Structures are given as C-alpha cells and as structure tokens.
Amino acid sequence: MKTTTAPILECRGIIQRYGRLTAVDDLSLAVPPGICFGLLGPNGAGKTTLIEILEDIIRPTAGEVFYLGKPRTSLFRQQIGIMFQQTALLAFMTVQETLATFHKLFDKAYDLEELIRLCHLDDIRKQLNDKISGGQRQRLLLALALINQPELLFLDEPSTGLDPQARRNLWDIVHQVRSQGKTIILTTHYMDEAQHLCDIVSIMDHGRIIATGSPQQLIARHTRGINITLPPDAAEAITSNAIFQVNRLADRVVLQVTDLNRAIQALLEASVDLTHMSVQSPTLETVFLNLTGRKLRE
Amino acid sequence: MRFRRIWAMFTARNREFFRDRATFGWNFLFPFLLVVGFAIIFSGDSPQEFKVGLFSCPTQDPAAAAACVPPELAGIQQIQYIHFDHLEQGLERLKHHKIDLLLHKEGPPFRYWINETAPKGQTLELVLVGSLTDDGPRLLSRQEALNVRQVRYIDWLFPGIIGMNMMFSALYGVGFVVVRYRKNGVLKRLQATPLTPFEYLSAQMLSRLFVLAFSITVLWIGCHFIFDFTMEGSYFDLVIVFLLGSLSLIALGLIIAARGTSEEFANGVLNFITWPMMFLSEVWFSIEGAPDWVRGIAQIFPLTHLLRAVRQIVNDGARLADLGLEVAVLALLTLLFLATGAALFSWNK
C-alpha cells in the first residue's frame, strides 16, 4: 500500500511461527495516520497474532515494526491504547476504581469524568466489574484503551459477542474517537463492521494480506455488480458463464452478475425456481469469497 | 520506576484481598482453628514417639546406645535415642519439647531429666521406672526439674502455625494468583500499559507484606489473649524477623509466579514446595533425631530459619544479635529468590 503521508505504524517482513504452524507469513504493511485501518479475515487468519506483534505484546519470529518511522521505545506504551479480544478485569473492583487504577499507570491521561461520559459508563461506575453486561464490559475495556488519550488505538475484535444495539453503541464511540484524528487499527471478522468503521481494509488469510484498499475500492475491484442468492437445490444445474459467476456455499448459491435483467432472464429460461431468490449489493464478504472461495466464517 | 504505578497496583491487590470475604475470613479462621485444635487435642504435648536424649554416650548406633541405658530399657521399641555431646544441648532440647527425657550414662544410678510441663515426659518416666525389674532407685536418679521457665507445647507450636500461615499466604497469594492473572489475561492487559515487571512485582510483594503484617498482628493478639503466650524477647526483634521471613516467602512465591498459565500446574508446584517445607521446618514437631540428610534439606527452606529465629525470640528471649545466622540466611534467600523471580518473569508465557 502506497501513501503520501509517513505511516504512523509500519511493519516489514513479519513472520510468526508456532512450531510448524506459520501464523503470520512474511507480511508487510503501513498504516497512515488519522485513519481507521481494518484487518479483516476469518478466524485463524492470523489477525490477532499480527495485531499483538504490532502492539509489542509478542515478539515476532522475524521482521521489524516501526512507530513514527523509528523502532518502538518505552514511550510507545504511553502513546498507544489496546482493547484486547479476551481479557479479564481486576476482581472485586468497581468500574470507577478500575479506571482510576489504570489512570495512575500513565503519565498523560484523560479526565476520568470526560472518559466516563464518552464511553457511557456513568450509570455503572459504582458497579463491580463482574456485575456488568457484555456491552458495558466492552465499553469499559474501550475506556481503558482510551485512558491515556492514545494517538494509536488497537481494537481486536471489539464487538464480538455483542448484540446489534450494543455493537452500534460501540461503533458510535469509535466514530467519535476517529473524528478526533486518532489512528485506529481494528481487527474483525464482521464485514459490516469493517465497512462501517474502516477507511482502509486489508483482507488476511493464512497469515498473509491478500488485498488492501478502501471497502468501496475492494468491492469494485473484486466483485461483479450484484449478488443473486438462491437455495442450493434451486440452482443445481447452473454453472459459471458470461452472465454468472457462481459461488456454491454449503447453505446457498451466490451468483454474481453485472446485468440483473439478463441474469433473471437466463435463470427463467433455465427453469430455475426463483421463489426464494434474493438480490444484494456485493459486500466485503463477497470480496473474500471471490479471493479465497470461502466464507469469512467458514 | 514510578511509585505512583506501584501504589496503584498495591491498592488494587489489597482491595481484592480484603473484599474477597471468603478468602479473607479463611486466612484468619484456619490458623486460629489449628491453634485451638492442637491446644485441645494434645493439651500441651506433641504426638510423636518417645525421644530420649543421651549425653556422654559415644554413638547414635542403636546397639551401642543400648549400652548407655539400663539393660531393662534397651528393648523398648518405642524409644528413639538421640546423642548429645553436652548436657546443655540436651537440656535445651528438653526445654523445647524436642526430646521427652534426657539420660546421662555415668551410672548406675543413671541420672535423668524431664520437662514437667510435658505429659509425654512424665509418661515416659513412669514407663521407665515401671519397666525396671531390679531396684529402681539404684538404677535411676531423677534430677531437678529444669530450673528455667517451662515452654508449653502450645508456646512452641504457635510460632509454627503463624509461620505455616505465612507460608501458604505468601506462596498461594502471590504464586497462584499471578498465574491466574496470566491465564485470564489480566497480566496481558497490564503489559499494554507503561507498568514495568519490576513495578508490578514490587507492588505484589508490598501488598502481600501488608496483608501478612495485618493478619499476623490480628492472629497474634487474638491468640495471646486466649492462650496467654509468654513473650520472652523483644517485639522489635520479632517484627524484623517476621519481615525478613515474609519477604523471603513472598519472593519464593514470585518464582512460582514468574511463568506459566496453568493453575493446576502451579498448584502442583506449590504443593511440592509447601508440604515438605511444612514438615521439615518443624511447624508441628521437631525433626530432632531425623537422618542428617533430612535435616540438611530442611536448611534450604526459609521457613526453617524463620521458625528457628521466632521461637528463639519468643521462647528463649534471644536478641537479633544472637540470630545472625538465621537473619543472614533469610536475607540471602530473599535476594536469591527475588533475583530469580524477576529474571524469569514473563507477562504472557
């Protein structure tokens, strides 16, 4: 990926091996400042390993990481915020006490009241950490990641396990942070999350980046116009041709077409039952499907 | 290093300990119940086989030892004979319930001493006298009872129980808890902050020291009122020894805490350390008369030196200056354990 501004974070030739498994395979990327950068990929693609290498939580088998063009120093920890995919909170502490504890660990920190307001924690500030809901817990973890007003924020699968409303609430906070000019690096396996939050997305599979660009660019570059979805038994006889690109999945068949009228005409001529047909615009999942032949959550 | 960060971790750990009511309560209840239980069950005496000290007897070999006692007693299997070079050594062991009776060979008549506060000693005296078929008084001559303050078994046992509580609290409260933090991701979360391993470990150490100081004080005062312990030495010296002992045990806990994400494995390692330490450090009973290699192993445990120093202060009125070896060993072990724990520490492995 080429950018005109100097990257806030860059990695070169990252390799991470666990025994015979290569989790990250000679990967390089550069993240420009002030954007939300997404790493999209299925479980096991190497997203979390890569982001933990970028966070300086694990040391790679090979490769280098640069922050603002230089190797990372102890100051890196003062200037980044991390929301991990899985983490426990300090036991027998209230939300406010937890925030106050982490507040003391940094030289520069958010005003606690402001942070509590930003992350909508006011109602639960006196509750113990183990008595709050999943959505409240994710907001608290986000608040902990933001507590030092980081220039670079890492969010590893921030909305996994949340209901749609809680996810929307979390996205709103991320939008506010993004609007303050902070850089965000986010991993997710939710295509809608990546499309909604990210300026640039890299799609990962088997420890490698297989495509990078804005969601719109990726969709335009790697898909064909419109998706027609049919039940598997309704489209048994259809094969890829000039009109369709056929992707057969376990629970459905996705036809990518450029001319919807012509495609429907062809399906009717082939006596395909269109009762359960649905039509959608292509998404990042379609991009992933076209690039790998698999679904994001297969 | 930022003291503010150490303080933040110190208060967080203390909150966890004092708010976890079940653990908090058990930390006091368990040792208290032990003291009460032993006070009731043994009424001031220890439960082991009879131990008879011999002095001026040239060997510990059982056959040779038999030549140092009246022939009528030589066949009693329940008696273990322990050799001393000097009478003072034997009397000191008798005073501290490490032996039940002291016998001097030069006879007949054989001179002997017992600790009058020890029912086992009195029982053994009856057994010995009763087993004589010849003229008892010609063979045995009871000496004056120890002319110093008698140390009750409970006086001797109480520091052991305090020490055992310190050992479990230090090792599990640091070793086990930090492994749990590593397993559930708390350490990883802390790693993502500017907190350094040194600051984190210092906070854990200080917090546990605070908890131990608090629990020892409460336990000491509570048991003192109930059992009326006699403190022969200086409380200042006792505090110094407890401080060093606590630090060495906590630092040992830091080695357990340094690596690993398996609570089960940590528990196994802790059991492997605590059980031998509990028995060989003379928490419950003396290992006087045990093979040399067993007593040698006991020397590597900080609890051994802690209890020896505490008992000498509490029971004998020893001063710090008299306890140079124990104090030095505890200080050295603390430094050794601390350096090892810090060198091995990992946030996430």
Digit-coded pLDDT (tens) for A287-296: 888 887 766 5
Whole-number Å distance between alpha carbons of A127 and B255: 34
Q: Does A58 touch chain B (CB under 8 A)?
A: yes
Nearest residue of chain A to residue B181 (CA atoms): A88
Beta carbons of B115 and B156 less than 8 angstroms apart: no
Nearest residue of chain A to residue B349 (CA atoms): A58
Q: How many domains does chain A have?
A: 2
**Cβ-Cβ contacts under 8 Å, A101 against chain B:** 8-9, 11-12
Task: List the strands of the sheet with A21-31, edge to edge.
Answer: A21-31, A9-18, A62-67, A70-71
Same domain, A160 and A180: yes
Domain ranges of chain B: 3-41+152-344, 50-142
Nearest residue of chain B to residue A100 (CA atoms): B8
Look up the CATH number of domain B50-142.
3.40.190
Beta carbons of A222 and A290 less than 8 angstroms apart: yes
Is the pLDDT at A240 greater than 70? The verdict is yes
Torsion angles phi and psi, residue A225, rounded to 5: 55, -85
- pLDDT computed for residue A3 by the predictor: 47
Residue A172 inside a domain? The answer is: yes
DSSP-assigned letters across all residues of B47-105: -S-EEEEEES-----HHHHHTTS-TTTTT-TTEEEEEESSHHHHHHHHHTTS-SEEEE-
Residue whose pair of structure tokens reads 């419109």 in the numeric block: A226
Residue A232 inside a domain? The answer is: yes
Average confidence (pLDDT) over A276-284? 87
- pLDDT computed for residue A4 by the predictor: 57
Same domain, A206 and A249: no
Q: Collect all residues from B whose CB is shorter than 8 A from any CB in A.
A: 4-5, 7-9, 11-12, 15-16, 19-20, 181, 184-186, 188-195, 347-348
Is the pLDDT at B153 greater than 80? The verdict is no
Same domain, A119 and A263: no
Higher pLDDT, B341 or B224: B341
Residue whose pair of structure tokens reads 């930090």 in the numeric block: B178
Same domain, A174 and A39: yes
β-pair type (A208-213, A200-205): antiparallel
- pLDDT computed for residue B101 by the predictor: 85
The mean-pLDDT minimum among A4-8, B42-46, B158-162, B329-333 falls in B42-46
Q: Does A96 touch chain B (CB under 8 A)?
A: no
Q: Do residue A77 and residue B193 have CB atoms under 8 angstroms apart?
A: yes
Which of A:196-255 have CB within 8 Å of B?
none
Same domain, A130 and A185: yes
Domain that holds residue A129: 9-219
Residue A182 inside a domain? The answer is: yes
Higher pLDDT, B43 or B260: B260
Same domain, A83 and A170: yes
Is the pLDDT at A204 greater than 50? The verdict is yes
Q: Do residue B194 and residue A92 have CB atoms under 8 angstroms apart?
A: no
DSSP reduced 3-state for A152: strand
Give the gap in angstroms from C-alpha B346 to the nearest C-alpha of chain A: 11
Beta carbons of B330 and B305 less than 8 angstroms apart: yes
Same domain, A273 and A149: no
Digit-coded pLDDT (tens) for B130-141: 766 555 555 566
Digit-coded pLDDT (tens) for A76-100: 999 999 999 878 888 889 999 999 9
Six-digit token string for A76: 């890196």
Is the pLDDT at B227 greater than 90? The verdict is no
CATH classification of the domain holding A253 = 3.30.70
**Cβ-Cβ contacts under 8 Å, A57 against chain B:** 188, 191-192, 347-348
Is the pLDDT at B149 greater than 70? The verdict is no
Last residue of a domain, one of A219, A241, A257: A219
- pLDDT computed for residue B47 by the predictor: 45
- pLDDT computed for residue B139 by the predictor: 57
Beta carbons of B138 and B108 less than 8 angstroms apart: yes
Across the interface, which of A87, A93, A148 has its CB nearest the CB of B189?
A87
User: Band of the pLDDT at B150, cuts 50, 70, 90?
Assistant: low
Across the interface, which of B12, B188, B194 has its CB nearest the CB of A90?
B12
Higher pLDDT, B223 or A201: A201
CATH classification of the domain holding A126 = 3.40.50.300
Same domain, A94 and A41: yes
User: How large is the C-alpha radius of gyration of chain A?
Assistant: 22
Residue A259 inside a domain? The answer is: yes
**Of the segments B55-69, B128-142, B331-345, which one has the largest average pLDDT value?**
B331-345
Q: Do residue B5 and residue A104 have CB atoms under 8 angstroms apart?
A: yes
Same domain, A267 and A146: no
- pLDDT computed for residue A222 by the predictor: 85
Q: Do residue B189 and residue A78 have CB atoms under 8 angstroms apart?
A: no
Q: Does A88 touch chain B (CB under 8 A)?
A: yes
Same domain, A57 and A193: yes
Nearest residue of chain A to residue B177 (CA atoms): A91
The mean-pLDDT minimum among A13-27, A183-197, B66-80, B173-187 falls in B66-80
Q: Do residue B192 and residue A84 have CB atoms under 8 angstroms apart?
A: yes
- pLDDT computed for residue B46 by the predictor: 45
Residue A212 inside a domain? The answer is: yes
Is the pLDDT at A143 greater than 90? The verdict is yes
- pLDDT computed for residue B72 by the predictor: 65
Q: Does A59 touch chain B (CB under 8 A)?
A: no
Is the pLDDT at A136 greater than 80? The verdict is yes
Whole-number Å distance between alpha carbons of A289 and B43: 80
- pLDDT computed for residue B132 by the predictor: 62
Same domain, A65 and A171: yes
Residue A258 inside a domain? The answer is: yes
Contacts of B282 (CB under 8 A, 6+ apart): B160, B298, B304, B307, B308
Q: Do residue B186 and residue A144 have CB atoms under 8 angstroms apart?
A: no
- pLDDT computed for residue A71 by the predictor: 94
Whole-number Å distance between alpha carbons of B47 and B41: 10
Is the pLDDT at A230 greater than 70? The verdict is yes
Q: Do residue B192 and residue A97 have CB atoms under 8 angstroms apart?
A: no
The mean-pLDDT minimum among B42-51, B318-327, B336-345 falls in B42-51
Last residue of a domain, one of A172, A199, A219: A219
- Percent of chain A's residues with pLDDT above 70: 97
Average pLDDT, chain A: 88
Give the gap in angstroms from C-alpha B191 to the nearest C-alpha of chain A: 7
Digit-coded pLDDT (tens) for B244-301: 999 999 999 999 888 888 888 888 889 899 988 988 988 887 777 778 888 889 999 9
Which of A:133-162 have CB within 8 Å of B?
144, 148
